Structure 1
Amino acid sequence: MQLQAIQKGRFTYLWEDNHSLIEQVILSCIKDRKIVDEGHKLLVQGEAVSSLYLVESGRVSMGVTARNGRVFQLGTLECESQLFGEMEFFTGYTCQMDIIALEAIEIAVIDGVLLQQALQLHPHLSLFFASAIAIDYQDTVEIFTRRMLYPIAYNIAYDIYHQHLNDLPVDGFGKHYLEAERFGTSDRVYRRAVKELENLGLISKQRHTIKIENLDALKKYVEQK
């Protein structure tokens, strides 16, 4: 979730009026600041979470590894005052995803006990967390559901079209095998699906980039499913 005024949802007006208090409360719970290197895991799948992490800027990736070794990458995120570990803070569950720094970034470590005490003093701020978590949850479930219910080629086309519209909650990767993992498949199947879209005249592939060749046809392909 972002430590910023939420621009959508039922209680939007509250965040605009109370954002300075929200920010003040979170910042008061910071117990350490440090710079971590590229590849550092802020949160580790399956591990207990005792602290939350605030990343003011920098890019991270989010992914899940199953016991059979298969990997699903949710995508990458360009952080803007992004808070990680908030769901585990409320549930007490172990971490569901690896959150990995894709570059050297500065992180602020937020003490879970201090945050709990702060929310007890300002219980209405829990409404901010509830709203932000609900929005992130629905965005994530939408991604997972679409990946499960639609063919790989459709999911790639959908992603390309909405990346063009710049309205997706997460971004992709520059490497093929990571893009394949983002669509829950192998590199070979991913390449075949991209080729299918090329043969339809919707896109063209140029080295490590994909270019839209027919935006109207791509839009029609995505919206007719």
Structure 2
Amino acid sequence: MGTTPASTPRRVVVASNNAKKLAELQQLLAPAGVELVAQGTLGIAEAEEPHLTFIENALAKARHAARAAGLPALADDSGLCVDALGGEPGVQSAVYAGSVEAPAGAEREARRRLQDAANNRLLLERLSGTADRRARFVSTLVAVRHADDPEPLVAIGRWDARILDAPRGSGGFGYDPLVFVDALGTSVAELDAGTKNRHSHRARAAAAMRELIAEAWRIGPPTA
């Protein structure tokens, strides 16, 4: 692909409708010189995620969004992997407890909070009495220039942690209240957004993706 002027961010559709994840990615990837556009604002439905690995699901979502939008696309597939559970919840992290029924008319974020609570309860149940609480958050970012791109960019970030016996903190989303990062001495849900975005699995994957975009797509940061 030709060189894009640094002052003109390239529009990239993000294969997610998770508002909090989108906000994180927007902040993390802004220095890469891309303008992220949520697939939902373009009327694009979420893709199926039938695969057993983060990388396969992320690639499927990126190709789906790129094909529907006619734009480059970026997808994140991420989750929590717990050693004592053989890597679970893994790719099923978002629906570990199965899809939770929400009250009629409930907004998306309200439904997500109910789902998160059910997932967290199940995780604690399955770890009850288990001494080995080692775990890690994993984020896999995949970017494609178009739906049939033979050279997808792949960046993976891992954040080592352990699972608490009870939730701590009210920030973040998903498993954040149960995930304790020893290096920081706090749960992820107790971190402010700035600190989380400097240390998280998604931050690590995004840093690697920024380098890949600059090298492979020849896009630089926007000029002032």
TM-score by length of 1: 0.25
Q: Which has the higher contact order (CA 8 A, sep 6+)?
A: 2
* Bigger fraction of residues in helix: 1
* Bigger fraction of residues in strand: 1
TM-score by length of 2: 0.25
